Amino acid sequence: MKSTKLIILDRDGVINHDSDQYIKSPDEWRPIPGSLEAIARLTQWGYRIVVATNQSGIGQGLFEMDTLNAIHEKMIKAASQMGGRIEAVFFCPHINGDECACRKPKPGMFEEIATRYNMNLTGVPAVGDSLRDLLAAREAGAKPMLVLTGKGRKTQADPAFPPDTPVFADLAAAVASLAK
């Protein structure tokens, strides 16, 4: 049975530990405690789970596409082993200077998700840890949710932080709030 419920998750700082040096190999990808269980819970509740992630390490030449694919395969497999299903991973390989439409805070990745799923993103939960995640979600009409993992605490302290954005300790807490 196909569900019409969709949720969009950022990757680094939401699902897995982030690194200022970038996640450049599958070995560096480590899930944040509780995140894979949260993805499993979403799957059980009938959500379609997609990841939207900026991956400028590609554009900077820090790692190749096959490495990014291997990192995503590890993430998808780890979620699957917990009973979760990540349906798709959307990513922007560009650097800030590329002026692309897909790099968050621009809404291009979210617009691509809306097109791919043939749906309006109004009210769709979008969980992120950075201001750019929240701004992209909001511009696309989705419902931004901040987690305090990754860059979340710094984001919450940013003067540009939208005060009406719900804040959660981590992905597990954000997911728990959806159990209505």
3-state secondary structure of 156: helix
Distance of CA 18 to the CA centre of its chain: 12
Q: Is 12 a catalytic residue?
A: yes
Is residue 175 within 8 Å of residue 164, measured between CB atoms? no
**Which position among 12, 18, 129, 133 bears the catalytic label?**
12
User: What would the DSSP string read from start to end of 11-66?
Assistant: SBTTTB---TT---SGGG--BPTTHHHHHHHHHHTT-EEEEEEE-HHHHTTSS-HH
Longest CA–CA span in the chain (Å) reads: 44
Q: Is 66 a catalytic residue?
A: no
**Which position among 10, 18, 133, 170 bears the catalytic label?**
10
Q: Which residues, in sequence order, are CB contacts of 19 under 8 Å at separation 6+?
A: 12, 28
CA angle at residue 59 from 170 to 12, to 5 degrees?
5
Positions marked active-site: 10, 12
